[in-house]
Amino acid sequence: MQGPSQANAACRLHALWRWEGKMSSPKTPTLEEFRARAALSGLTLTPEDIEHLHKGYVGLLDLMQRIPTHWAWAAEPPLVFRADE
């Protein structure tokens, strides 16, 4: 699997995961749970594809944990872009 089809596969697998309306930290799926979800997607994925997608999905969830839920907007200086500069 390469390129856009890989992105489509990741989107389909992500859509199968239920967060029940929460944006808080979802439980990280095990590789076996991910394989079961991949089977439900209807895509023809090799075991290597599933392992690669699982690794990327877990990495994405780890990165999402670092996104702050509250942003101190007053602490950030405003960005002003002027046409004459």
41 belongs to a structural domain: yes
71 belongs to a structural domain: no
Q: Which domain holds residue 7?
A: 3-65
76 belongs to a structural domain: no
| Model pLDDT for residues 2-35, shown as the tens digit of each residue | 455 655 655 665 555 554 445 556 688 899 999 9
Q: Both tokens of residue 23?
A: 């944006």
CA distance 35 to 25: 21
36 belongs to a structural domain: yes
Closest by Cα among 52, 59, 64 to 6: 52
Are 64 and 71 within 8 A, CB to CB? no
| Model pLDDT for residues 25-83, shown as the tens digit of each residue | 668 889 999 999 989 988 899 999 999 999 999 999 999 888 888 777 677 666 777 66
User: What pLDDT, on the 0 to 100 scale, is given for residue 19?
Assistant: 47
User: What pLDDT, on the 0 to 100 scale, is given for residue 84?
Assistant: 65
43 belongs to a structural domain: yes
Q: What is the pTM for the complete model shown? A: 0.55
13 belongs to a structural domain: yes
Are 37 and 29 within 8 A, CB to CB? yes
73 belongs to a structural domain: no
Q: Which amino acid is it at 14?
A: H
The 10 Å Cβ neighbour count of residue 45 is 19
85 belongs to a structural domain: no
